[in-house]
Amino acid sequence: MSTAGTESKPSPISGLGLFATRGFMAGERIAPYGGVRLNAPPDVRTPGQPTFLLEIEPGLWLDGSASDNPARHANHSCLPNAELILDTTAGHPWLVAIGPIAATEEITFDYGFSLAESLFHPCKCGTKDCVGRIIATPLRPALRRHLRFSRRRD
């Protein structure tokens, strides 16, 4: 699946990723994150299957699993090159470049998981500052402290 400036293809991070087919400048919109709005996340999830749920505000979720939502393939990174911004006039989030993104570069953003959520989601981004779990940037120091003090001591 591709849209103007992006394409989905296998990613070294996880499954399919979203890749730039042209350069993007800082602040430029990359792709909208579309989907069906839900008042609660669905109860049923298939283990091992990707989830494309996005909480856009407390109690309001977006199910981005539809094939016409290429932004669903943007993977998490501990050093992202994009961010997800809710456009209140359009009514849905957009991936927006944080800095310049080169053609062929994978487009990533911080999923913003809580400490509890991070325990169930390993990170495979491979950046030098990766803590090994998908967790929101401001919470990474707390996770590092937790991991340091929870290691077995000899």
Residue with tokens 């008042």, as numbered in its chain: 39
Q: What is the pLDDT of residue 116?
A: 81
Mean pLDDT score of the chain: 85
Tokens representing 37? 């709005």
Give dist(CA 141, CA 53) in Å, integer.
Answer: 26
- Is residue 154 pLDDT above 70, yes or no? no
Q: In the chain, what's the furthest Cα-to-Cα distance?
A: 57
DSSP symbols for 43-94: S---TTS---EEEEETTEEEE--STT-GGGGPEE-SS-SEEEEEETTTTEEE
Q: What is the pLDDT of residue 139?
A: 86
Q: What is the pLDDT of residue 40?
A: 79
pLDDT tens per residue across span 28-62 = 999 998 888 888 776 656 655 667 877 777 888 88
Percentage of residues in the chain having pLDDT higher than 90: 40
Integer CA distances (angstroms), 59 to 22, 111, 120, in order: 36, 17, 21
Structural domains of the chain sorted by starting position, each given as residue range(s) with its CATH number in brackets: 2-110 (2.170.270.10), 111-154 (no CATH)
Q: What is the pLDDT of residue 22?
A: 97
pLDDT tens per residue across span 87-101 = 777 777 999 999 999
What's the Rg (C-alpha) of the chain? 16
Integer CA distances (angstroms), 26 to 30, 102, 107, 109, in order: 10, 11, 13, 14
- Is residue 70 pLDDT above 60, yes or no? yes
Q: What is the pLDDT of residue 136?
A: 87
